[in-house]
Amino acid sequence: MTNPVRMNGMAPMQADPAKPALGPPGPAATSSHSSRRARTIGIGLFILAGLSPLLGPSHPAWAQTSSTPPDEITVEGQGEREIQRIAVPYYRPDLATPSGVGDLVSRIDRAALTVCGDSTALSGEMRRAIERSDCRRDARMRAVRDVNDVNVQRAVTRYPLP
């Protein structure tokens, strides 16, 4: 005989006295749980595999094949005591896109700041002076001239140094 059980005003459910209401799940429930977990993990991996091309190389130069060596320019400037040089690699095809040009100009500018002493400047006032220095401007302009690309030239003239 089954007993109807009413839960919070819901329709009656039939209780089976042969099955315990509480307790550890039996082997069938454990098997069902593990197959559900495996299915969920499988679906998650499938979605991740589908998104991987979108999550791929975020830097244009990383997407290049190893058979194509990068071009390289040297940013140089007068540091504290001697002339400093930093090589900045780039791929010419990346300069066809605004993001590729912006990335190269940004890396040239960081290299110019470094060769002009920004990495060794301790005070904020000294860093600001280096940011406004002729050393930085000249190092950046020499490197842009060495790239010899009209898109890079336009980007630098459109967004001058502060």
DSSP string, 16-36: -TTS-SSS---HHHHHHHHHH
Kindly state whether residues 152 and 90 are assigned to the same domain: yes
pLDDT in tens, 3-17: 555 555 555 555 555
Residue with tokens 């459910």: 13
Kindly state whether residues 133 and 68 are assigned to the same domain: yes
pLDDT at 100: 94
pLDDT at 32: 66
Enclosing domain of residue 98: 60-158
Residue 15 counted as domain residue: no
- Cα radius of gyration rounded to whole Å, the chain: 32
Residue 72 counted as domain residue: yes
pLDDT at 36: 77
What is the distance between the alpha carbons of residues 115 and 86, in angstroms, rounded to a whole number? 7
Bridge partners, 86 (sequence order): 75
Sign of CA dihedral 151, 152, 157, 159: positive
Bridge partners, 71 (sequence order): 90
pLDDT at 151: 93
CB neighbourhood size of 22 (10 A): 4
Query: Distance of CA 47 to CAs 20, 112, 114, 137, 153, Å?
Result: 39, 43, 42, 47, 42
pLDDT at 68: 78
pLDDT at 22: 56
What is the distance between the alpha carbons of residues 141 and 109, in angstroms, rounded to a whole number? 9
pLDDT in tens, 79-106: 667 888 999 999 999 999 999 999 999 9
Q: 148: closest CA among 87, 111, 104, 86? A: 104
> Is the model's pLDDT at 155 over the cut of 60?
yes
What is the distance between the alpha carbons of residues 87 and 121, in angstroms, rounded to a whole number? 21
Element (H, E) at 14: strand 13-15
pTM of the model: 0.55
Kindly state whether residues 45 and 98 are assigned to the same domain: no
Kindly state whether residues 67 and 34 are assigned to the same domain: no
pLDDT in tens, 111-123: 988 888 877 666 7
Count how many domains the chain has: 2
